[in-house]
Amino acid sequence: MSPTLQTDLTDRAAAILDLYRAENLMITTAESCTGGLIAACLTEIAGSSAVVDRGFVTYSNEAKNEAIGVDMALIETHGAVSNEVAGAMAAGALAHSRAGAAVSVTGVAGPGGGTAEKPVGLVYIGGARLGQPPLVERHLFQGDRSTVRHDTVMAAFAMLEKLTTLKKIG
């Protein structure tokens, strides 16, 4: 990844950490196609341990099931790259952590692995906040693997920002 892209990601990560610190919220991540890049960007910033609880890299279907409780039937029915699985990943990460907010990503970063129904660049980003149903966004990013992963992290940060506007119910 180029130094410019790294600076872009770490600057955005620092802003997210400041926002979560001000809200007194902790973050957890559940990552597939980014392989831990969201958590790596967040923890690149000094003092991130006050905000980042943990990160799950759930690259395989089995890891999604074993680490964060995504039902294998859900994966078999909808596929790992789906709205349903992204939502379940976010909810599962939240349930398996001490965090108040979770972000998840699952997608096809490329260059191979895409299909007509699920092309390279298709990414679902899930977000969960305690007391709220999960949110999921569908994105279709363009570019090579590095660009898709970069854009996915930036969209995950936008999801984390959106989650701070939701208030806990109950």
Q: What is the pLDDT along the chain (170 residues), one digit of tens a residue?
A: 555 547 899 999 999 999 999 999 999 999 999 999 999 999 999 999 999 999 999 999 999 999 999 999 999 999 999 999 999 999 999 999 999 999 999 999 999 999 999 999 999 999 999 999 999 999 999 999 999 999 999 999 999 999 999 875 54
CATH number at residue 128: 3.90.950.20
Half-sphere exposure of 22 (CA within 13 A, CB side): 9
Q: What is the pLDDT of residue 96?
A: 98
Q: What is the pLDDT of residue 7?
A: 84
DSSP label of 50: G
Q: What is the pLDDT of residue 161?
A: 97
Domain assignment present for residue 69? The answer is yes
Domain assignment present for residue 168? The answer is no
Domain assignment present for residue 170? The answer is no
Domain assignment present for residue 11? The answer is yes
Domain assignment present for residue 142? The answer is yes
What is the pTM (predicted TM-score) of this model?
A: 0.95
Domain that holds residue 32: 3-163
Domain assignment present for residue 119? The answer is yes
Report the domain count for the chain: 1
Q: What is the pLDDT of residue 148?
A: 98
Domain assignment present for residue 169? The answer is no
Domain assignment present for residue 107? The answer is yes
Task: Write the CB contacts of 105 (distance below 8 Å, at least 6 apart in sequence).
Answer: 30, 31, 32, 33, 34, 38, 86, 123, 124, 125, 126, 152, 156
Q: What is the pLDDT of residue 166?
A: 83
